[in-house]
Structure 1
């Protein structure tokens, strides 16, 4: 039996410097709790903007009926 490599769906989010730290935390918490996303990387730039990479596993559909 061969082991399959896990595949991920990745999403990049860019936030302006005007978004507060608490708003970013709430956004990431909601994505994690309701969408199954996990934080991969958060980068803050010199101008105060943030770039966030989040990912979640892709679960392939398995057919249940045989024809």
Structure 2
């Protein structure tokens, strides 16, 4: 995932962010189909423990996605590596 695909959260999404979870906002470009996005997010859920919290579809076809997962008690040495979408 490139740095440009991550960014700040859309307005209102930062209201209910629990400290018990890790949160990752993603931007999916318009050329990513719904099926491809669904497959990629399913892989993240299956193998990395992320779950889909919110999705916003914009008129230009861009999707903003918010993923979350429970924080681990054990410090992960790769915690800075975010999901590759």
Normalising by the smaller structure, the TM-score range is 0.7 to 0.9
Q: 1:25 aligns with which of 13, 38, 42?
A: 38
Gaps of 5+ in 2: 1-17, 75-85
Name segments (4+ residues, structure 1) moved above 3 Å. none
Tell me, in whole angstroms, the C-alpha distance in 1 between the residues paired with 2:26 and 2:19.
22
Task: Give matches, 1:24-63, under 5 Å.
Answer: 24-61=37-74
Tell me, in whole angstroms, the C-alpha distance in 2 between the residues paired with 1:27 and 1:44.
16
Q: CA contact under 8 A between 1:6 and 1:57: conserved in structure 2?
A: no
Tell me, in whole angstroms, the C-alpha distance in 2 between the residues paired with 1:6 and 1:50.
25
Q: How many residues align?
A: 57
Higher relative contact order (CA 8 A, sep 6+): 1
User: CA RMSD for the aligned pairs?
Assistant: 1.5
Structure ID, larger Rg? 1
TM-score (norm 1): 0.78
SS at match of 1:42: strand
Q: Could you say which structure has the higher strand fraction?
A: 1
